[in-house]
Amino acid sequence: MKRLIATLAVGLVLNASPALASSATEAALAADPVAEKRLLGLSEELRCLVCQNQNIADSNAELAQDLRREIRGMIKDGKSDKEIIDFMVTRYGDFVLYRPPVQGNTLLLWGGPVALLILGIIALVRYQRRRAERVAAEDKPLSADEASRADALLKELDNK
Amino acid sequence: MNRYYWILGAFAALVALLAVGLNLNPRDVPSPLVGKPAPTFTLAQLAEPDKTLSPKDMQGKVWLFNVWASWCVSCRQEHPVLVEFSKKVDIPLIGLNYKEVRGDGGFDMGKMPADEEKKLAWQRANTWLAQHGNPYKLTVMDLDGRVGIDYGVYGVPETYVIDKAGVIRMKHTGPVTPEILAKKIMPLLAELNK
């Protein structure tokens, strides 16, 4: 009885994860949690080309299911993560990668935000400096004339 | 005053950038296969199920490889263009029938035995070609879509131009329109056949 409950519990947990288990072969492989974890990790890194803003772990598109099947097969064959990712890239290009590699045509993508940050800092520093200079330039000591006027005004205030 | 022009300029640049970005087609994913040898396969032919075809059988010829299926709606739009092409141009057009039964979505594949799937696929593909005309020199059947994966197929129809050495020279995703045929495919075919 205990065993039955345990089996049912495992079954429930496995079925609760939407990316897993649909056809018979998938269910068989789902019995191997280590492989499934790798599958999930890999498929979260890969874009589904049919519904482009989903990865192939989330997507229920036909192609995503097929690709998960391929990845399962490759995991079973003992392929490394790199080999599996390379398999995808040779077929679908860098576009399948949610984390595109740093290379010539992605420099703007990777470097853009950093460049913007640096530009912003430079602009801020320059602005601050210029303002400080302007304030310093305007902050001249009072002339004798101005000083006597200021004294007079202050005295007037004191007398009130 | 000067400063406001600067902000306006930056805003205009941003608008221009977004306008360009929004007008790009996100489906137009450059294929890494262009310039690489066409992935090999050996698949059964539609007309003669006992015979197979491999890309190496096409060696020495410039040919078109078109991915289609009877359930594919855009293929219907493209098909007359291909039929017209096959009548006018003497370039072999090979069809890859992609997941004829599985791709349909209307069948419970868990319950369908392999031979039944095969029978149904051949029957559906033949019926479709009989109805809409057959522009293909021959069609090969990719029942489970594995060859499709090797060719990076993600949206049927797709069309590949393959040169005499068996290298993919162009890939077009989506229906071939008369415009694409005239402006892109035909010039390339002419150049490759020189």
pLDDT digits (tens, 9 = 90+) for B40-98: 999 999 999 999 999 999 999 999 999 999 999 999 999 999 999 999 999 999 999 99
Give me the pLDDT at residue B186, please: 95
Q: Point out the domain boundary residue: A57, A80, A101.
A: A101
Q: How many domains does chain A have?
A: 2
Cα angle A61-A74-A10, degrees, rounded to a multiple of 5? 70
Assess whether A9 and A51 both reside in one domain.
yes
Together in a domain, A10 and A81: yes
Specify whether the CB–CB gap between B150 and B41 falls below 8 A.
Answer: yes
Phi, psi for residue B150 in degrees, rounded to 5: -60, -30
pLDDT at A17: 44
pLDDT score for A13: 46
pLDDT > 60? residue A6:
no
Alpha helices in B133-165 (DSSP H): 146-150
Q: Which of A56, A77, A101 is the last residue of a domain?
A: A101
Q: Are residues A76 and A51 in the same domain?
A: yes
For range A19-32, the mean pLDDT: 54
How is chain B split into domains, by residue range?
32-192
Q: Tell me, yes or no, whether A24 and A83 share the same domain.
A: yes
Task: Tell whether A63 and A132 lie within a shared domain.
Answer: no
- What would the two tokens of residue B80 be? 């007359």
**Cα–Cα dist A19/A59, whole Å:** 8
Instruction: Give chain A positions within 8 Å (CB) of B149.
Output: 66-67, 70, 91
Of A50, A66, A91, the CB nearest to B152: A91
**Closest in B33, B105, B145 to A66, CB measured:** B145
- ipTM for the whole predicted complex goes beyond 0.90: no
Pair A72, A123 in one domain: no
The per-residue pLDDT for A100 is 82
For residue A1, give how far its alpha carbon lies from the nearest alpha carbon of chain B (Å): 30
Q: Which of A101, A127, A150 is the last residue of a domain?
A: A101
Nearest Cα residue in chain A from B110: A23
CATH of the domain at A23: 1.10.8.640
Q: Which of the four pLDDT bands, split at 50, 70 and 90, describes residue A3? A: low
User: pLDDT digits over B90-102, tens only?
Assistant: 999 999 999 999 8
Please tell me which of the candidates B32, B99, B145 has its beta carbon nearest to residue A89.
B32
**Domain residues for A141?**
105-159
Same domain, yes or no: A124 and A97: no
Domain check: are A71 and A149 in the same one?
no
Q: Tell me, yes or no, whether A116 and A94 share the same domain.
A: no
Rounded-to-10 torsion of CA B162, B104, B150, B113: -120
Whether residues A53 and A117 fall in one domain:
no
My answer on whether A26 and A86 are in the same domain is: yes
* Predicted TM-score (pTM) of this structure: 0.73
For an interface test with B, the pick among A22, A91, A95 (most B C-beta atoms closer than 10 Å) comes out as A91
Whether residue A67 lies within 8 A of chain B, CB to CB, comes out as yes
Q: In this structure, are A60 and A75 located in the same domain? A: yes
Confidence of residue A7 (pLDDT cuts 50, 70, 90): low
The confidence band for A2, taking pLDDT boundaries of 50, 70 and 90, is low
Architecture of domain B32-192: 3-Layer(aba) Sandwich (3.40)
Contact status, residue A27 vs residue A35, Cβ threshold 8 Å = no
